[in-house]
Amino acid sequence: MIENKEELRSLKILYVEDEDLAREKLGKFLQRKFDNVELCANGLDGFFAFEKAYNSGHKFDLVISDINMPKMDGLEMFEKIKEIDNKIPSMLITARTETEQLLKAISLHIDSYILKPIDLTVIDEKLNRLCSDVFYKKNYENQKKELQTYLDILNQEAIVSKTDLSGKITYVNDGFCVVTGYEESELLGKSHKLIRHPEVPKEFFKNLWETIQDGKIWSGTFKNQAKDGSTFFVNTKIIPIFDSSSKDISEYIAVRFLVTEDELKKRESFKKYIEQVSQYKRAISGLNKEKEELAKRVVDLTTINSTLETKAQQIEIKRKQLLSQLEAYEKNNLEYDKVNLMTRQDKSKQFDQMYKALNTLKSVNKRQEKAMKGLEEMLQSKKDDLDHYIKKDLENKKRINDLRDLVTNLQEENEEIKNQKKSLF
């Protein structure tokens, strides 16, 4: 069944019915289901409509018709239609089930048969099933035409082969024979092991087969061996080809292009540059991470320093308050007894301890400021390293782009040389 309703709506339907009420009712149902529906009131008009559409290249995908109609009944119309296109999907609708009509319908290969009165649920189910087959066959034919067009183009430039599901060669083009040194008769019915190079591991081909048997396209470059023992590299794409149901694989097609030594060297060089760029990117990522960690430490140290400064300010305020209290006490009391003297000495001692604590906090603050300055210098150094790596990354990108331009120019020169050779021959 077609999952996408838009694909079903794209089909073109011809419906032929002489009863006005029945034609109007089912016609509206079909027009809700399909974008392109043509209605005819008798078999003769239906045949002319089919013939006109067929000759114009916009033929119908499905014909639905009543049997008993004036001018030309449904079976006569289908008989003439099948002379033009014997594969057209068809559906008959009738109120009677005479054996003679059924036998003739079978001989005309009518695909479906609906009895009146029409049950829209039943006809909808049959239409979905029939239209699914129509769509898949239509899609399959379009794919075959498109594939043949691609093959005609590829046969001129590429090395092409086909295999069945077991891997036996069913087709090779001239380019395949020229490169491998084998005749077509030596290749058909054999497997590609005939040209497999012994240096390529079996695991490589195991992965290849698992990929294409899963219905996926495999791409890659590997080494092969010609009949005379010489080696050659090919850039290969292997494509699974599905049958008309678009569900099961029917065969595999492999398209290859020769890879020269210069191209292999350039490929390796380009690969090394890509690896180097990746290393630079990883290094830059590491530096960015270090930069973030340093920035976080600077923030933490700034917070600690701010806290220490706040504490120092609070202690200084408290000391000033105590000194003010002491001065006021000294002004109001000129004579001090022993107890007062001892109290003042104790307060003086407290002041000394607080002053000493303040000096200690200032020393800690200076050390924190020095550490923070060192971290800022380290952060600046990391920023310089990061700028250096970014500059190197830009240089490498430029070198990669230059190499790409060089490869493009070489390909264009190669194509021009090919064209010149063709013109010489």
Domain boundaries, the chain: 5-139, 158-259, 266-424
Sign of CA dihedral 350, 351, 355, 358: positive
pLDDT of amino acid 388: 79
Could you give the strand order of the β-sheet that contains 112-115, starting from the edge strand earlier in sequence? Answer: 36-40, 12-16, 62-66, 90-94, 112-115
Q: Are 226 and 179 in contact (CB under 8 A)?
A: yes
CA atoms within 13 A on the CB side of 184: 10
CATH code at 266-424: 1.10.287
pLDDT of amino acid 312: 80
pLDDT of amino acid 1: 46
Residue 416: both structure tokens together: 């021009």
Residue 244: both structure tokens together: 């008309």
Q: Which class is 158-259 in CATH?
A: alpha beta
pLDDT of amino acid 40: 92
The pLDDT tens digits for 291-307 are 788 778 878 888 887 88
Measured CA distances, 244 to 77, 113, 133, 250 (Å): 28, 24, 9, 9
CA dist 147 and 310 (Å) reads 81
Strand (E) or helix (H) holding 195: none
Backbone torsions φ then ψ of 239, nearest 5 degrees: -120, 125
pLDDT of amino acid 344: 62
Q: Judge whether 5-139 and 158-259 match in fold.
A: no
Strand (E) or helix (H) holding 374: helix 338-424
Strands 249-259 and 159-163 come out as antiparallel
CATH code at 5-139: 3.40.50.2300
Q: Are 79 and 105 in contact (CB under 8 A)?
A: no
- Which segments in the chain show pLDDT lower than 50? 1-3, 262, 266-267, 269-270, 273
